[in-house]
Amino acid sequence: MSPQVRGYRLSLPLHKVLGALLAAAALSAPAQSIPGLPSLGARTTAPAASQPTAVEWAARLEAARSEHRALLDLPADSEPLLAERQLASARKLVLLSARVDALTARATGVKAPESVVAPPPRLKEPPPYDVLEIDSLRDYLEVLTTQQSALRLALKSMDANVEAAVQSRAQADANMRLLRDQPARASKEGAAAQQRAQLSLATLAAQVAELEAIQGDEARERARQQLEALAGPVNALRAEIERARTRQRFDEADLATVLKDLEAERKKLSAEGAKLAERVARREAQSAPDDPWHQRIVEHTSQLTLMLGQLEDLLRGQEALWRARRQATVTTLDARQLQAASVRATKALEDLQDQRKRLSEEGRLLRAELRTQQALVAGLVADDPSRAGEQQVLNALLARSDMQDRLRDGIDRTAVLIERVRIDLGLTNRPDSVEEALSRGGARLATWAENAWNYELFSATETTRIDGRVITVDHGVTVGKSIGVVVMLVLGYWASGRLSAVLISLIGRRVPMSAQLARVLRRWVNSILLLVLLLLVLKMARIPLTAFAFLGGALAIGVGFGAQNVIKNLISGVIILFERKIRVGDIVSIGGMSGTVINVDLRATTVRGFDGIDAIVPNSTLLETQVSNWSGGNPNIRRAIAVGIEYGSDVRKAAQLVADCARAHASVLADPAPEVLFDNFGSDDLQLRLLFWVALGGARGGPTVDSDLRYAIHDALQAAGIVIAFPQRDVHLDMAGPLRVELSGGSTQPAATGHPVG
């Protein structure tokens, strides 16, 4: 068998909506194509491939026969899986024989009987047309429409069979690849023989699936062709009947012919009833008093007589309908008479429908009783004395079943006649009461809702090439499927959130982690679960991923112009999480802002500034720009306060007082100890600089500690009689810290360097 080739084709009723988007995709990348997705907008034709000829199929059949004979010649239980391989080989042989016979018949020009559609009859010109001839056209139209309905139902079953065969072929191919890839177990002869037998069985299964797929696809193609061939005659017949309906005639001669036929049929029923009565009487006379089957046979025969009476009633009703039909052709009915006739016709149809339902229930019970009686008779031996009596009961049941079929046919014929009378008279099917109007409205709404639920938004066609033949499997995406997918996704989203929380909770009990890291991991696990959920939901709803292949063009544009940034940030987020250079809780400076990292998501990182404002920073920015992580290695930070005193003041004493103020503050670290530097001789003051260390994120922030020390320094110098000089702006560069603008009077303002202030 040739290897399997897959492709996908899409047919979209929504092509007008997506046309502009897909056209833009084609213009943006004319030389690119998505694998497995042909161009949209037209039904694509697969590249031509040579299919096996009839001679090649005949050769395959002979080879299959030889293989099957070889399998049958093997002793029982001589090889593993021998019985299974023999069954698969027999199935392959049957399919190949059917394939060769079909090719032979096709080569000789023999067509299947069902492939030939007889041309519809034509009415004799000129009008008016005989009503009986129009009825014959209607009968023929009913036959054709019934064939159409049967073909549509058969096509649904064939689609399912072909899809199952294609899936079986794919599964068999996967099994063969798995068995071939397994290492040979020559050391164990039994295991090696088992492996060879499994591979042989998988090969046979793949070949059988291929033949079933080809056979099913050919049968489906013939049904499609026949359905297409029926469309023309059906449309022509409908047009012909509608054209002739208003120009029909029904004279006394036609009525006499119809009534004569009905009278003859009724006489046959009367004669049949008389024979039944005679049979019952003869049975009564000949039966023994202890005959256990007499009562049962009489009961079934009585039911036959009752149904014969119902058939006669139907024939009398048909006679009345034909007379009314004749009267309507010679008399013009006013609106009131038409409405009264419509009410009577509706009531008659409802009565017939009730009889049909009751007959169906009785038929279901009768078929169950018939199966029981057939099993009873089959279980009796030929010389059993009770076999003859049970066979008579079975014959009575069979006769009753046949009579039910006749009665059902009579009911249907009467209903058809009523509908035709309504159409000929132009009767409107208006409701007779409010309840009937509401009932019809509810039924109409239910039909609309069902049609909307089953409305196909788009369909994806999966193509499989087997032996040069392209086999297609259509997957429709309806409104109902889409709503079901949404509901399952919502429930799955809730379940995945709960499951991810439970998983992270279990991991947190064994691996210590911070709350921020646990929150990040939970989001990643939840995202993975949602992806798996999406695939499972689409699989359960039988929506293939190829159904969304039409988004390929739009996705290509997005990747080219915008999605690349999203992907870049996603990858950056993964790198940040694994490198852990920046973690939740770190104090960082990025660009012109500083704050605490409170969250690291898939796309961006959230930094909360010391002013309480959150900044959303793309993850790629953290990798591409310089970032200061103040809590990355050392949690302590050095701060500086400049103090200017008048010339002539005791500088050493002032330095000692400033240092004492720093040592006395609880938030100033003792190690490294605070120190005071004689910074410079200013134009108007002697400049001192206090350097001290505080813990980052301590009880009191850096600016608060600075303020406390300034208060203390001011009070200490004032108490010692040392005057703080008038401030003069100077710019000093602290080599151990960021650039600062200092006020010589002792105040300090941070420059725009991104230095954290907390």
Per-residue pLDDT reduced to its tens digit, 495-530: 888 888 888 888 888 887 777 667 777 877 888 888
Read off the pLDDT band of 427 (50, 70, 90).
low
What mean pLDDT do residues 721-734 have?
60
Split at pLDDT 50, 70, 90, the class of 407 is very high
6 and 463 in contact (C-beta within 8 Å)?
yes
> What pLDDT is stored for residue 41 in this prediction?
35
Q: How confident is the model at residue 409 (pLDDT cuts 50, 70, 90)?
A: very high
Please choose, from the candidates 11, 2, 6, the residue with its C-alpha nearest in 3D space to the C-alpha of residue 549: 11
Helices 335-378, 294-330: axis angle to 10 degrees equals: 160
Least confident of 346-350, 459-463, 671-675, 694-698: 459-463
What is the mean pLDDT of the segment spanning 693-716? 82
Report d(CA 349, CA 357) in Å as an integer: 12
Nearest C-alpha neighbor of 247 from the set 138, 111, 129, 346: 129
For residues 270 and 116, the model is more confident at 270
Q: Which amino acid is at 742?
A: E
What distance in Å separates the CA atoms of residue 372 and residue 366, rounded to the nearest whole number?
10
Alpha carbons within 13 angstroms on the beta-carbon side of residue 530 total: 13
The rounded distance, in Å, linking the Cα atoms of 346 and 559 is: 64
Question: Is the residue at 267 inside a domain?
Answer: yes
Do residue 615 and residue 705 come from a single domain?
no
| Residues 323 and 403 reside in one and the same domain | yes
pLDDT at 469: 74
32 inside domain: no
Asked if 173 contacts 180 with a C-beta cutoff of 8 angstroms, the reply is no
Model confidence band, residue 546 (pLDDT cutoffs 50, 70, 90): low
Is the N-terminal amide bond of 544 cis, ω within 30° of 0? no
- Whether 312 maps to a domain, the answer reads yes
Query: CA 487 to CA 480: how far, in whole Å?
Result: 11
Higher pLDDT: 553 or 405? It is 405
Long-range CB contacts (< 8 A, 24+ apart) of 678-682? 678/651, 679/642, 679/732, 680/730, 680/732, 682/644, 682/725, 682/728, 682/730, 682/744
Q: Dihedral sign for Cα 573, 576, 580, 581, please.
A: negative
Same-domain check for residues 666 and 591: no
pLDDT in the model for residue 402? 92
Co-location of 118 and 228 in the same domain: yes
Residue 751: name the closest of 732, 736, 726, 727 by CA.
732
Q: Which of 218, 244, 270 is the last residue of a domain?
A: 244
Report d(CA 343, CA 431) in Å as an integer: 9
**Domain that residue 340 falls in:** 250-430
Distance, in Å, from the CA atom of 651 to the CA atom of 692, rounded to the nearest integer, reads 19
* Residue 731 pLDDT exceeds 60: no
- Over residues 540-559, the mean pLDDT reads 60
Residue 247: phi and psi, rounded to 5, are -130, 45
**Helices of type H across 108-188:** 131-181
- Together in a domain, 624 and 713: no
> Could you tell me which residue, 7 or 265, shows the higher pLDDT?
265
Integer CA distances (angstroms), 652 to 4, 384, 477, 661, 680, in order:
94, 136, 88, 14, 14
Question: Residue 562 corresponds to which tokens in the numbers above?
Answer: 């915008």
Of the chain, the percentage scoring pLDDT greater than 90 comes to 8
Examine the domain organization and report whether 209 and 282 are in the same domain.
Answer: no
Listed residues 244, 260, 287: the one ending a domain:
244
SS3 letters across 275-333: HHHHHHHHHHHHCCCCCCCHHHHHHHHHHHHHHHHHHHHHHHHHHHHHHHHHHHHHCCC
One-letter identity of residue 252? E
Q: What is the pLDDT of residue 408?
A: 92
CATH of residue 606: 2.30.30.60
- Closest among 580, 472, 459 to 517, alpha carbons compared: 580
> Do residues 208 and 169 lie in contact, with contact meaning Cβ atoms separated by under 8 Å?
no
Report whether pLDDT(436) > 70.
no
Q: Nearest CA to 688 among 654, 716, 637?
A: 654
Domain assignment of residue 547, yes or no: no
> Does one domain contain both 88 and 228?
yes
pLDDT mean over 31-49: 37
Reported as a single tens digit per residue, the pLDDT across 65-118 is 999 999 888 888 788 888 898 999 999 999 999 888 888 887 776 665 555 566
Distance of CA 705 to the CA centre of its chain: 64
- Tell if the pTM clears 0.75, that is, is over it: no
Q: 647 and 588: one domain?
A: no
Into how many domains does the chain fold?
Answer: 5
On whether residue 447 sits in a domain, the answer given is no
Spacing of C-alpha 707 from chain mean position: 66
Q: Can you read off the two tokens belonging to residue 454?
A: 């089953």
Q: Which residues contact 757 (CB under 8 A, 6 or more apart)?
A: 594, 610, 701, 702, 703, 750
Do 426 and 497 lie in a common domain?
Answer: no
Tell me the β-bridge partners of 605. 600, 617
- C-alpha 162/C-alpha 466 separation (Å) is 12
Q: Based on the domain organization, do 182 and 326 belong to the same domain?
A: no
Q: CA 343, CA 334: separation in Å to the nearest integer?
A: 14
Confidence of residue 289 (pLDDT cuts 50, 70, 90): low
Which of 85-99, 347-361, 689-703 has the lowest average pLDDT? Answer: 689-703
pLDDT grade, residue 433 (50/70/90)? low
Q: Which domain-ending residue is among 397, 415, 430? A: 430
φ/ψ of 464, rounded to 5, equals -130, 130
Residues 532 and 649 in one domain: no
Average pLDDT of 322-327? 84
The pair of three-digit structure tokens given for residue 610, joined into one six-digit string: 């010391």
Query: Do residues 370 and 507 share a domain?
Result: no
Residue 8 lies in a domain: no
Please determine, for residue 440, whether its predicted confidence score (pLDDT) is greater than 80: no
pLDDT at 109 (0 to 100): 66
List the single range of 28-37, 147-156, 326-335, 528-537 with lowest mean pLDDT: 28-37
Listed in sequence order, the residues at least 6 apart from 698 whose beta carbon sits closer than 8 Å to its beta carbon are 667
For residue range 529-542, what is the model confidence (pLDDT) as tens digits?
888 888 888 777 66
Q: Specify the pLDDT at position 350.
A: 85
Q: Is residue 29 part of a domain?
A: no
The Cα–Cα gap between 212 and 91 comes to 10
Q: How far apart are CA 417 and CA 58, in angstroms?
A: 54
Closest CA to 472 of 169, 225, 159, 3: 159
Is the residue at 166 inside a domain?
A: yes
